[in-house]
Amino acid sequence: MSKIEIRSPLPGTFYRASSPDVPPFKADGDAVSSGDAIGLIEVMKTFQEVPAGVAGRNITFLVDNEEPVMAGQVIAEVEA
């Protein structure tokens, strides 16, 4: 069993959900498929979805909601 990293494609502020009053895209422990959104990055007055880009099980988030991230920073890990 190996871990696969999901990295932020751009710098900004990371959000787990599409708005404060809805559940997060993914909860810790969820399975993800490649096209799934796992969060949003806010930058330049826009919100960009972060696609998982990989398929895997048991996602673990390494960045908190509303935390600043840099491009290439590992946001989450999944098990292959």
Partner 1 sequence: MAIKVLHHGLATTVQDLGRPGYFHLGIPVGGAMDRFAMRAANLLVGNDEGAAGLEAVFIGPKLEFTEDALVAVTGADMPAKVDGVAQPGWTAFKVKAGQTLTFDFLKSGARILIAVSGGIDVPEALGSRSTYPIGALGGHKGRPLAAGDELPVGKASLSGEGRTVPEALRRKPGLPAALRVVPGLYWHRLTEASQENFFADEWKVANEADRMGYRFKGGRKLDFVARDQPFGAGSDPSNIVDSCYPYGSIQVPGGTEPIILHRDAVSGGGYFMVGTIISADMDLIGQLQPHTPTRFVKVTMEEALAARKARQASLAQLREALA
Closer Cβ to partner 1, 27 or 43, answer by number: 43
Closer Cβ to partner 1, 11 or 79, answer by number: 11
Question: Please, what is the minimum distance in Å from the beta carbon of residue 41 to partner 1?
Answer: 9
- Measured between alpha carbons, how far is 9 from 23 in angstroms, rounded to an integer? 23
Q: Count Cα neighbours of 30 within 13 Å in the Cβ-side half-sphere.
A: 13
Closer Cβ to partner 1, 48 or 58, answer by number: 48
What residues make contact with partner 1 under the rule CB under 8 A?
Answer: 7, 9-13, 42-46, 48, 68, 70-72
- Measured between alpha carbons, how far is 38 from 23 in angstroms, rounded to an integer? 12
Question: Please, what is the minimum distance in Å from the beta carbon of residue 1 to partner 1?
Answer: 25
- The letter for the amino acid at 17 is A
- Measured between alpha carbons, how far is 46 from 41 in angstroms, rounded to an integer? 8
